[in-house]
Amino acid sequence: MGKATLTGKGRRWLLKGHPWVYRDDFAEVEGSMGELINVNDPSGGSMGWGLYSTQSRIAVRMVTRSKEQPNRAFWLERMQGAVERRARLGMMEPEGACRLIGGDADGFPGLVIDRYAKTLVVQSGSQGSDTMRDFLLGLLKEAMPFAPDAIIDRSDTSVRKLEGLEKRVEVLEGTLDGPVTVQDGPLTYDVDVTGGHKTGHYLDQSINRKDAAKLGVGGRVLDAFAYDGLFGLHAALAGAKEVVCLEQNKAACERIMQNAERNGVADKVRVEKVDCMKDMRARAESGERYELVIVDPPAFARSKKEVEGAARGYVELNRRAIDLTVPGGSLVSASCSHNVKAEDFIRMISKAAHGAGRSVWLENLAKASPDHPHLVTLPETDYLKCAFLRVG
């Protein structure tokens, strides 16, 4: 069995609550790939149990601060808790979708499991979650209120490299014949769980989309960085007069139109396959204006080093978005860069407002939907900022 003894600094770090312990913070640490090991303070007292990585700088991801070794009953209770929390949020209707397991923030280091109707998509990002995958899937099936039709392993993220793991995409159970259909309130849409972004879809914006849709009723809506167009499609169903979706990914553009047709709103939805940064500038300069503008770009700052460049990108993008909004209209502006803090993001928006010569009010600063928990001692799980703004 592996063993781990912290340095004094490592002990102090762990006491602050962060669940990741770096290799440098151990006086000694050894174990096999993904093994559950006991973590001890410098004098040999147990500080809990964590999953070991032979490769990553993060040598141990804590599972529990209890002295007792986690057993089957411990993991089943944790799994049942995760499923019950989603049920209490009203996110467990069989035809809907949600994040069932949100990694370290849910107490399952490195493991994400998203549910699209009755299809489960697993994304494992660490040696520990690879080792625990099949055991935890067995417990999840016990905890779920209905049986899954299919389970897909979509472990193809780049973080696996840091753990010395290969990427993989495989069907673990059941069969998958094309996209999975999901019902999200009034909207029916298809998800490409093997080829789409992330596990197939951006579930973290599910509540923000419905809130944004209310702001576009009767007006023109611009959905920039649209992916499958779900902001725009919700707005169309809520009563927008016209919706323009901008996206550069060809497959996503095709899905937007397919989803518009199946929801009976194809007559008011238009898709343009463009580079948003260039297109929005040209659109603003030609005088186009919208009652609601949504900008939901990919993360501009993937590391701390990229924050400065990202700041320029966010200011420029929000400047164009403000230009494109009618006086009295709404702008919903998101950033999913964990490295850009909420107060800095608002400063970037205020710089954009100043550049545009417009007044902008922050009406709400939303986060990811609550099925994507934010563990306060793990700041990495606080990444999505979605600013609901009124533009004067």
Ligand X SMILES: C[S@@+](CC[C@H](N)C(=O)[O-])C[C@H]1O[C@@H](n2cnc3c(N)ncnc32)[C@H](O)[C@@H]1O
Residues lying near ligand X in the complex (CB under 6 A): 197, 202, 205, 225-228, 230-231, 246-249, 252, 275-277, 296-298, 336
Nearest approach, Cβ of residue 336 and ligand X (Å): 6
Q: What backbone phi and psi angles, to 5 degrees, belong to 2?
A: -70, 165
Q: Rank residues 107 and 297 by Cβ distance to ligand X and give the closer one.
A: 297
**How far is residue 354's CA from residue 363's CA, in Å, rounded to a whole number?**
18
Cβ closest to ligand X, residue 157 vs residue 249: 249
Q: How far is the CB of 246 from ligand X (least distance, A)?
A: 6
**Which C-beta is closer to ligand X: that of 79 or that of 236?**
236
Active site residue 98: no
Q: Could you tell me the smallest distance in angstroms from the CB atom of residue 103 to ligand X? A: 18
The distance from CA 72 to its chain's CA centroid, rounded to whole angstroms, is 28
Residues 6+ apart with CB under 8 A from 376: 17, 382
Nearer to ligand X among residue 296 and residue 344 (C-beta): 296
Query: 């009953």: which residue's tokens?
Result: 73
Comparison of 103 and 196: residue with beta carbon closer to ligand X: 196
Taking the complex as a whole, how short is the minimal distance between the CB of residue 172 and ligand X, in angstroms?
Answer: 25
SS3 state at 133? helix
Residue 67, class by beta-carbon neighbours within 10 Å (0-12 exposed, 13-18 middle, 19+ buried)? exposed
Alpha helices in 175-330 (DSSP H): 206-213, 230-238, 250-262, 276-285, 307-323
Measure the CA–CA gap between 138 and 72, rounded to whole angstroms. Answer: 11
Q: Residue 160: left (phi > 0), alpha (psi -120 to 50), or beta?
A: alpha
CB 334, min distance to ligand X, A:
7
213 in helix, strand or coil? helix
Q: Which of 98, 276, 336, 386 is catalytic?
A: 336
CA-to-CA distance for 295 and 297, rounded, in angstroms?
6
Q: Which is nearer to ligand X, 303 or 377 (CB)?
A: 303
Q: Which residues of 52-65 are buried (b: 16+ CB within 10 A; e: fewer)?
A: bbbebebbbbbbbe
CA dihedral 77, 80, 81, 86 (to 10 degrees): 170
Q: How far is the CB of 189 from ligand X (least distance, A)?
A: 10
In sequence order, what are the residues at sequence separation of 6 or more whose Cβ sits closer than 8 angstroms to the Cβ of residue 352?
Answer: 314, 315, 316, 317, 318, 319, 321, 322, 360
Catalytic residues, by residue number, are 336
